[in-house]
Amino acid sequence: MDRLFDQFLRDWLGMHGLADAIGWLVVAVYATNFLLCIRIVWKKGTRPSAALAWIAALFAFPVLGFLTYLVIGENRVGAVRRRRHARILRAAEGLDAGWKDPRVLAGNMSTVDTQMAHLGENSGAPAVLNGNLVQLSGDPEEQARWMTEDIDAARSSADALFYIFECDATGRRVADALCRAARRGLCTRLLVDGIGSRAFLRSPLCRELRAAGVQVVEALPATVLRVVFARVDIRNHRKLIVVDGCIAQTGSRNVADPDFKSGGRLGKADPYIDSWIRIRGPVVRDLHILFLEDWGLEAGLRDRIEVPGHPALQPGGIPVQVIPSGPNFENAVVLDLIQASIQLARREIVLSTPYFIPDSATIAGLEVAARRGVRVTLIVPRANDSLLAALASRANYARLLNAGVELWEHRQGFLHSKTVSVDDELAIVTTANLDRRSYEINFETSVVVYDDAFAAELRRLQHSYIADSVRIDPNAWERRGRWARFRENLANLLSPLL
């Protein structure tokens, strides 16, 4: 094809100079891509599927592949942010090591719990802390009420961090509560992601918050200039509220009405369905430190991290561990957390996620767990706001179904809840999806609760999802059309790049 094009320019049009220039340009592009392939092998050699996908893209689409790799090929958070994060970590040293009360330092945990706790600690997460009261909610109205009630009850500070902050009824409720807190003279801070909350950052509601005294800061601004220095699709995907350093809330819920994405790929009757937890007790301090680290990363750290005193141990409280993750941590703790949950399950594991694009090791882990007799249940939404994610997800169904995994597609809304329960023994409520973006790119927060009663409560919430779901029949799935299989497999080829 290149030779024919060259002959056309020379013989038909007589444009010898242009033909020579294009020839040298092609040589330069392929030489550059060859050097870039060496870098890909160096950077991604431990992930051969991703490395091969990028190399194939470079040679199939030389210019587009090169430009795409420059933009999203590597997890570059920027040199300035890396240096700032290093200073923040030095400033935070010792903040989570001040517990003297032996009742707070969790002990006498089961072997499974202890192994999971060690995994988190060896990945840089704080230790498990006892004495926490944890409430779980799957009701959107209750979740919004918790947010505003705790902010309105604040006495010293109200801090919030969200990926999406919408200018709708829920956004107005939370914004009004933050404004009231600021007018009472409290330290009131709101950190929102630059892409997820772009419309809010340019809205009158944002200006209203700032006028009331709320400190509003954009996390990871996405600008054209930033493309040169950092990967622009790295996002702060956390959802977190911390009040007075003693009450915290987190989970999958954004500050938005449940139906904020209705229409488009989601029907009008497909609201988001989220899980949300409210915590009182010592572990809130770890969530507060996490917020302050993210705040310092964007607003700048002038001196040292100031946090309130240690939250009081709650009578009858339970052990909880906060596990943060993100590209600045340079670990795969979310992936490790999911795979450890699968491996440690002895009777049953239930997982819910809106986006299921796992790596091959996670797929293999689910298959092996099902074949060794563990009841493995995966709940995903039928309707999805991302066509590519939905197709790539379904490409993995056949393997799982053949191994005996129960696959349920939720039909009553968009299941956005990200949860894991293991043997009614431990539970994970997280902001992370079961996909490579959450594993490697986004800033996420996972909360592991080491308590049988809470795990059983989470299991009941997961069973409510199953009640509104349809189980995928392996035989019917095998009979689906060839065009559907081709689209799913084609989308799955791109999964290492997603």
355: domain CATH number is: 3.30.870.10
The answer on 187 and 94 residing in a single domain is: yes
Q: Is 6 a catalytic residue?
A: no
Q: Is 85 a catalytic residue?
A: no
Residue-level pLDDT at 270: 76
Question: How much of the chain is helix, strand and coil, in % rounded to 5?
Answer: 45, 20, 35
| Domain assignment of residue 327, yes or no | no
The answer on 280 and 181 residing in a single domain is: yes
Reading the block at residue 293, the tokens are: 């680290």
Residue-level pLDDT at 73: 64
Dump the DSSP string for 229-281. Answer: HS-TT--B--EEEEETTTEEEEES--BS-TTTT-BTTB-TT--EE--EEEEES
Domain termination site, one of 72, 91, 106: 72
Dump the DSSP string for 76-87. Answer: ---HHHHHHHHH
Residue-level pLDDT at 462: 98
Q: Is 359 a catalytic residue?
A: no
The answer on 15 and 155 residing in a single domain is: no
The answer on 364 and 217 residing in a single domain is: no
| Domain assignment of residue 347, yes or no | yes
* Catalytic one of 359, 418, 424, 435: 418
Q: Is 118 a catalytic residue?
A: no
* Catalytic one of 416, 424, 435, 451: 416
User: Residue 346 carries which DSSP code?
Assistant: S
The answer on 373 and 310 residing in a single domain is: no
The answer on 132 and 23 residing in a single domain is: no
Q: How many domains does the chain have?
A: 3
Domain termination site, one of 270, 290, 319: 319
* Catalytic one of 44, 239, 288, 410: 239
The answer on 272 and 361 residing in a single domain is: no
Phi then psi for residue 318, to 5 deg, are: -125, 165
Cβ(200)–Cβ(184) under 8 Å? no
| Domain assignment of residue 122, yes or no | no
* Catalytic one of 96, 113, 159, 244: 244
Query: Tell me: the pLDDT tens digits for 332-383?
Result: 788 899 999 999 999 999 999 999 988 888 999 999 999 999 999 999 998 8
Phi then psi for residue 131, to 5 deg, are: 85, 35
| Domain assignment of residue 326, yes or no | no
Residue-level pLDDT at 468: 94
C-alpha–C-alpha distance, residues 104 and 283, integer Å: 9
Q: Give the pairing type, strands 348-352 and 426-430.
A: unpaired
| Domain assignment of residue 35, yes or no | yes
Cβ(420)–Cβ(447) under 8 Å? no
Q: Which residues contact 364 (CB under 8 A, 6 or more apart)?
A: none
Residue-level pLDDT at 207: 97
| Domain assignment of residue 40, yes or no | yes
**CA pseudo-torsion sign 258, 264, 269, 272:** negative
Domain termination site, one of 288, 319, 350: 319
| Domain assignment of residue 236, yes or no | yes
Residue-level pLDDT at 71: 63
Write out the residue range of the structural domain in which residue 56 sits: 2-72
Specify the 3-state DSSP secondary structure of 6. Answer: helix
Cβ(84)–Cβ(302) under 8 Å? no
pTM: 0.85
C-alpha–C-alpha distance, residues 457 and 319, integer Å: 15
Query: Tell me: the pLDDT tens digits for 187-196?
Result: 999 999 999 9
| Domain assignment of residue 324, yes or no | no
Specify the 3-state DSSP secondary structure of 220. Answer: coil
Specify the 3-state DSSP secondary structure of 465. Answer: helix
Q: Residue written as tokens 């797929």? A: 363
* Catalytic one of 274, 423, 424, 451: 423
Residue-level pLDDT at 9: 46
The answer on 168 and 138 residing in a single domain is: yes
Cβ(405)–Cβ(370) under 8 Å? yes
Collect the ranges in the chain with pLDDT lower than 70: 1-27, 42-47, 49, 70-107, 223-232, 263-269, 300-308, 328-331, 493-498
Rg of the chain over all Cα atoms, to the nearest angstrom: 24
C-alpha–C-alpha distance, residues 268 and 201, integer Å: 26
Q: Is 100 a catalytic residue?
A: no
Cβ(70)–Cβ(280) under 8 Å? no
The answer on 109 and 14 residing in a single domain is: no
* Catalytic one of 44, 237, 261, 410: 237
Q: Is 44 a catalytic residue?
A: no
Dump the DSSP string for 75-127. Answer: ----HHHHHHHHHHHHHHTTTT-----TTTB--S--HHHHHHHHHHHHTTPPP
The answer on 92 and 67 residing in a single domain is: no
The answer on 411 and 303 residing in a single domain is: no
Integer distance in angstroms from the first to the last C-alpha of the chain? 31
The answer on 174 and 38 residing in a single domain is: no
C-alpha–C-alpha distance, residues 167 and 373, integer Å: 48
